[in-house]
Amino acid sequence: MKDETILNHDEAKDQYGAIVAPIYQNSLFRFKDWDSIDKAFDHKTEDYIYSRLMNPTVREAEDKIAAICRGEKAKLCGSGMAAISSAVLHCVKANGHIVTVKNVYGPSNNFFNKYLKQKFNIETSYVEGKKIEDFQNAIRPNTQLIYLESPASLTMELQDVQAVANLAKQKGIKTVIDNTWASPIFQKPLEMGIDIEVHSASKYLGGHSDLVAGVIVSSKQIVDQIISAEHELLGAKMAPIEGWLILRSLRTLPLRMKAMMETTIEIAQFLEAHDRVKKVHYPGLKSFDQYELGKRQMTGYGCLLSFELVTSNLDSIKAFVNALKLFSLGVSWGGHDSLVYAPVISYLKELPKERFEEMGISPSVIRLSIGLEHVTDLKNDLNDAFSAIK
Ligand SMILES: Cc1ncc(COP(=O)(O)O)c(C=O)c1O
């Protein structure tokens, strides 16, 4: 079935005929006798025992996400970072090595570079990732994981997902991709040979800026291993109400993605033509240097873009951001509401200046998350804010 049908058709399985899955807001499940609970423990990852491991409401959403990702099984987690750390821990061992991209999401970077390094002596190599040779050259005898984020969520560089998956398979290295930007609607990395796909479901899958969640999608074997190790032991579970909210949001995911993509392309073109803008980073623009690769491996584009203002004067950048009325200033992205963020606010606090430069990020970079408002209003708001730049 197509994604739209998977997300909007449910089997009639509720005993009262409820058309929408109920919220099973319970911590544990009752068993009729000794033998039945004994049996459930033998199949711990398939039976409902305790909501830390599995809950029927959360399971409904997991089954739909697994299906649209063309994976065998999905596990929803309490945040994107819970999904990422669980998936990565599944793939690595002490004294190992990870290859990732230089512009990987900040907390994922901290997890590799600080946490795994200090606790388990796992080293991480950063590559630009635009060429397959970047990965080939970085692989060491102890490389256990290649971790992708394509497109990366700030400067939007892509990696050739299929080529990296093939390379990793030849070398016996596991692959994980953060597929949050493209969403399961526009990119299917498991079909391209990636082992594990992760998402921050706080973005499009939730879609309404009202929850924090994450998801891991892979083969049944890998997801079951993660459920009974990292997910159970670190307690990365999702609350039933959040599973239900995601289930509801998934119904409109294809429609939201299409509408937001159309608006984002129009905004990106508008920015590209504006005299206060130096450069726009958006894989959906024909001028984007990896446009052809994007077209080959994605069927559409996400709603997050960044651009560089012509000025790098901090007061002018501040004046622009503060003048926006429809774009709320805040972190995160992928919801119904348009947002603006200037990475320089946090990056200069979190990273040494050299790392900022190494990542190729100029202080004048502004990130926009485009929501479901009307494109004309958003363009007018941007236009007015550009006039505030001295
Ligand atoms: C690309 C990307 N991956 C992962 C995450 C982490 O997800 P969460 O905030 O749900 O833990 C984020 C959050 O902003 C993100 O932008």
* Euclidean distance between CA atoms 276 and 385, whole angstroms: 10
Asked if residue 64 has pLDDT above 90, the reply is yes
Asked if residue 205 has pLDDT above 80, the reply is yes
Paired residues of 40 in beta bridges: none
With beta carbons less than 8 A apart as the criterion, state whether 218 and 195 touch.
yes
Is there an atom of ligand 1 within 6 Å of 264 CB?
A: no
Is there an atom of ligand 1 within 6 Å of 86 CB?
A: no
Q: Which CATH number fits domain 3-251: 3.30.750.210, 2.40.10.120, 3.20.20.100, 3.40.640.10?
A: 3.40.640.10
**Pocket-testing residue among 110, 202, 209, 333, ligand 1, by greatest number of atoms within 8 A of Cβ:** 202
Give residue 334's pLDDT.
97
Convert the pLDDT of each residue in 229-274 to its tens digit: 999 999 999 999 999 999 999 999 999 999 999 999 999 999 999 9
Give residue 361's pLDDT.
75
Rg over CA atoms, the chain: 21
- Degrees, nearest 5: CA angle 322-326-331: 70
Cα–Cα nearest to 202, from 330, 356, 91, 300: 330
Q: Please, where are the H alpha helices in the chain?
A: 3-8, 34-42, 56-69, 80-91, 106-110, 117-120, 132-138, 161-171, 183-186, 220-226, 232-234, 240-251, 253-272, 291-297, 314-323, 344-350, 353-358, 375-387
Cα–Cα nearest to 366, from 347, 380, 353: 347
pLDDT, averaged across the chain:
95
Convert the pLDDT of each residue in 213-222 to its tens digit: 999 999 999 9
Which residue's alpha carbon is nearest to atom 11 within ligand 1? 80
Per DSSP, 180 falls in state T
What mean pLDDT comes out for the span 326-351?
A: 90
Torsion sign (Cα): 64, 67, 71, 73: positive
According to DSSP, the β-strands at 339-341 and 277-281 are unpaired
Is there an atom of ligand 1 within 6 Å of 78 CB?
A: no
Per residue in 349-365, is it b (16+ CB within 10 Å) or e — as a string?
eebeeeebeebebbbbb
Cα–Cα nearest to 206, from 168, 251, 176, 140: 251
Cα–Cα nearest to 340, from 293, 284, 381, 299: 381
Is there an atom of ligand 1 within 6 Å of 200 CB?
A: yes
Measured from the Cβ of residue 374, the count of other Cβ atoms closer than 10 Å reads: 10
Least confident of 31-35, 283-287, 380-384: 31-35
Give the percent of the chain with pLDDT over 70. 98
What mean pLDDT comes out for the span 35-52?
A: 89
Per DSSP, 75 falls in state E
Please name the amino acid found at residue 323. Answer: A
With beta carbons less than 8 A apart as the criterion, state whether 176 and 87 touch.
yes
81 C-alpha to ligand 1 centroid (Å): 6
Measured from the Cβ of residue 123, the count of other Cβ atoms closer than 10 Å reads: 17
Give residue 14's pLDDT.
87
Order of strands, edge to edge, in the sheet holding 214-218?
73-77, 214-218, 196-200, 174-178, 143-149, 97-101, 123-127
What mean pLDDT comes out for the span 17-41?
A: 94
DSSP 337-357: S-EEE-THHHHHHHS-HHHHH
Convert the pLDDT of each residue in 147-165 to its tens digit: 999 999 888 999 999 999 9
With beta carbons less than 8 A apart as the criterion, state whether 237 and 365 touch.
no
Convert the pLDDT of each residue in 166-181 to its tens digit: 999 999 999 999 999 9
What mean pLDDT comes out for the span 85-102?
A: 98
34 C-alpha to ligand 1 centroid (Å): 42
Is there an atom of ligand 1 within 6 Å of 178 CB?
A: yes
* Euclidean distance between CA atoms 345 and 366, whole angstroms: 10
Q: Which fold has domain 253-387?
A: Aspartate Aminotransferase, domain 1 (3.90.1150)
What mean pLDDT comes out for the span 343-350?
A: 78
With beta carbons less than 8 A apart as the criterion, state whether 189 and 202 touch.
no
Measure the CA dihedral 178/180/186/192, to 10°: 10
* Euclidean distance between CA atoms 73 and 135, whole angstroms: 28
The full set of domain ranges for the chain reads 3-251, 253-387
Is there an atom of ligand 1 within 6 Å of 202 CB?
A: yes
Instruction: Give every CB contact of residue 361 below 8 A, 6+ residues apart in sequence.
Output: 103, 154, 155, 343, 347
pLDDT band at 333 (very low <50, low <70, confident <90, very high): very high
